[in-house]
């Protein structure tokens, strides 16, 4: 059975070879009112808005592509085929991919590339929440702080931007972000929409309009957030990539994998002691069968220095770019060249050889876990090697991650030299 993507393209008036892509899937398991139509109708409303602008003679600076993907539920088929078919052109021209998929009443959820974190925070600060006097950004920040752990609360209060989450898989951003290295965002409201109808016959118009998003107020809010984001990206003098938030986030991932190794080392030691002393066996119910686990090999000390050193470079490069780009202006052809360098920074986070045992997944910072389905693993090569206790591979992956971060920092330096 053939599947059909629907692609609409509006050519940019000045930088036609820079593409802003906006997508949502159009296929559903059953009725699909929430998944995918609640996101799709918001996207179509954005497209309708652009068509009204176009009738007045307006054209975006960059090319805008709207895509309604087919075959998402069977495995991201439509978006993957399209991304693979146009891979060479996309690698050259695609600046950002914005995805939506399902939407409901509640708080703003944003996942994606942390080089776009500052940008999407700015967008959220300008959109009114349908139920309160607050902006969607203010209400979401309040929710994150209130529901956060004590540590998270402290971090959130000290930070000027909402943290965006890292993307694993489960929707059409995957071929763009993880296969081609195109900076991506995944955006949707939720948390007060009940849920429970996902992928079932109950995901009906009746259920959605009563419980998902009564009055479709959050459908309008989603169209505003994504419409603003798309238009700002399409028309910005300079593409709004920013690297200090990315540097801060990658540092956190590196600290996590270091801590993970330390925790595993201590836990392994304690468990081995409990096995050796017979303690573990002694607490089991003697009437039940219990097989005593074998002692595990000690967790070695890994050398994370290459990553830490690369992070120092990254931090310097990010700060330097922020400084020069804030005080100096450039124009014309140089601006166009700078844009290309900026959006290709995400490509520098990929590696053609891909991740171990799955070469299609090329992104070295974000990937769905090998064993976790949609669930994300950040610094996936390093993290999964540690989790699998493959210390040789962990060492190799640390070097690869460090090299990736160094290459990325070098691209930022290239951008900074344009000023």
Residues that bind Zn ion (CB under 5 A): 35-36, 101
Please report how close the Cβ of residue 39 comes to Zn ion at its closest, in angstroms.
7
- By beta-carbon proximity to Zn ion, the closer residue of 36 and 227 is 36
Please report how close the Cβ of residue 171 comes to Zn ion at its closest, in angstroms.
6
- By beta-carbon proximity to Zn ion, the closer residue of 32 and 354 is 32
SS3 225: helix
Contact 228, 187 (CB under 8 A): no
Q: What is the dihedral of CA 54, 218, 157, 308, to 10 degrees?
A: -60
Please report how close the Cβ of residue 2 comes to Zn ion at its closest, in angstroms.
20
SS3 214: helix
With CA atoms as reference, report the closest residue to 245 among 98, 116, 378. Answer: 116
Q: In whole angstroms, what is the distance from residue 414 CA to residue 409 CA? A: 9
Please report how close the Cβ of residue 46 comes to Zn ion at its closest, in angstroms.
18
Please report how close the Cβ of residue 368 comes to Zn ion at its closest, in angstroms.
15
- By beta-carbon proximity to Zn ion, the closer residue of 173 and 408 is 173
- By beta-carbon proximity to Zn ion, the closer residue of 36 and 60 is 36
Q: What is the dihedral of CA 361, 366, 370, 375, to 10 degrees?
A: -130
Please report how close the Cβ of residue 36 comes to Zn ion at its closest, in angstroms.
4
Burial 38-60 (b: 16+ CB within 10 A, else e): bbbbbbbbbbeebeeeeeeeebb
* Run of H or E including 366: strand 366-368
- By beta-carbon proximity to Zn ion, the closer residue of 12 and 71 is 71
Environment class of residue 297 by beta-carbon count within 10 Å: exposed (0-12), middle (13-18) or buried (19+)? exposed
With CA atoms as reference, report the closest residue to 221 among 131, 140, 142, 130. Answer: 130
Please report how close the Cβ of residue 111 comes to Zn ion at its closest, in angstroms.
14
Please report how close the Cβ of residue 232 comes to Zn ion at its closest, in angstroms.
25
With CA atoms as reference, report the closest residue to 106 among 186, 214, 29. Answer: 214
- By beta-carbon proximity to Zn ion, the closer residue of 109 and 306 is 109
Please report how close the Cβ of residue 102 comes to Zn ion at its closest, in angstroms.
5
- By beta-carbon proximity to Zn ion, the closer residue of 36 and 240 is 36
- By beta-carbon proximity to Zn ion, the closer residue of 112 and 381 is 112
Please report how close the Cβ of residue 185 comes to Zn ion at its closest, in angstroms.
16
Q: In whole angstroms, what is the distance from residue 326 CA to residue 320 CA? A: 10
Q: In whole angstroms, what is the distance from residue 264 CA to residue 259 CA? A: 8
For residue 62, which phi and psi values (nearest 5 degrees)?
A: -105, 165
- By beta-carbon proximity to Zn ion, the closer residue of 32 and 356 is 32
Residue corresponding to tokens 């081609």: 180
- By beta-carbon proximity to Zn ion, the closer residue of 36 and 106 is 36
* Run of H or E including 10: strand 6-10
* Run of H or E including 136: helix 136-147
């Amino acid at each position: 059975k053939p599947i059909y993507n629907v692609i609409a393209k509006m050519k940019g008036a000045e930088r036609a070879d820079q593409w802003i892509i906006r997508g949502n899937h159009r296929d559903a398991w059953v009725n699909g009112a929430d998944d995918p139509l609640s996101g799709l109708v918001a996207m179509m409303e954005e497209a309708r808005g652009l068509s009204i602008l176009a009738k007045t003679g307006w054209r975006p600076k960059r090319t805008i592509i709207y895509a309604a993907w087919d075959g998402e539920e069977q495995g991201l088929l439509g978006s993957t085929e399209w991304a693979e078919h146009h891979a060479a052109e996309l690698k050259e021209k695609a600046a950002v991919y914005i995805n939506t998929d399902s939407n409901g009443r509640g708080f703003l959820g944003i996942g994606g590339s942390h080089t776009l974190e500052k940008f999407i925070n700015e967008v959220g600060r300008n959109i009114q929440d349908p139920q309160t006097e607050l902006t969607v950004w203010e209400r979401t920040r309040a929710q994150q702080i209130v529901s956060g752990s004590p540590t998270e609360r402290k971090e959130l209060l000290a930070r000027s931007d909402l943290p965006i989450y890292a993307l694993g898989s489960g929707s059409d951003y995957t071929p763009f972000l993880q296969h081609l290295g195109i900076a991506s965002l995944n955006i949707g409201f939720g948390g007060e929409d009940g849920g429970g109808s996902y992928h079932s016959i109950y995901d009906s118009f009746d259920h959605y309009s009563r419980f998902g998003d009564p009055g479709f107020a959050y459908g309008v809010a989603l169209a505003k957030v994504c419409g603003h984001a798309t238009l700002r990206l399409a028309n910005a003098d300079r593409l709004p990539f920013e690297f200090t938030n990315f540097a801060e986030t990658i540092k956190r991932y590196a600290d996590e994998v270091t801590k993970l190794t330390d925790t595993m080392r201590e836990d392994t030691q304690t468990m081995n002691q409990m096995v050796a002393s017979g303690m573990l066996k002694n607490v089991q119910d003697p009437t039940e069968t219990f097989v005593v686990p074998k002692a595990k090999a000690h967790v070695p000390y890994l050398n994370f220095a290459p990553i830490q050193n690369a992070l120092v470079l990254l931090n310097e490069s990010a700060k330097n770019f922020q400084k020069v780009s804030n005080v100096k202006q450039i124009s014309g052809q140089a601006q166009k060249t700078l844009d290309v360098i900026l959006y290709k920074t995400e490509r520098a986070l990929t590696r053609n050889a891909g991740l171990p045992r799955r070469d299609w997944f090329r992104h070295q910072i974000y990937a769905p876990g090998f064993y976790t389905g949609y669930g994300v693993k950040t610094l996936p090569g390093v993290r999964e090697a540690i989790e699998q206790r493959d210390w040789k591979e962990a060492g190799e992956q640390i070097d690869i991650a460090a090299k990736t971060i160094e290459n990325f920092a070098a691209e930022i330096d290239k951008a900074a030299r344009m000023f």
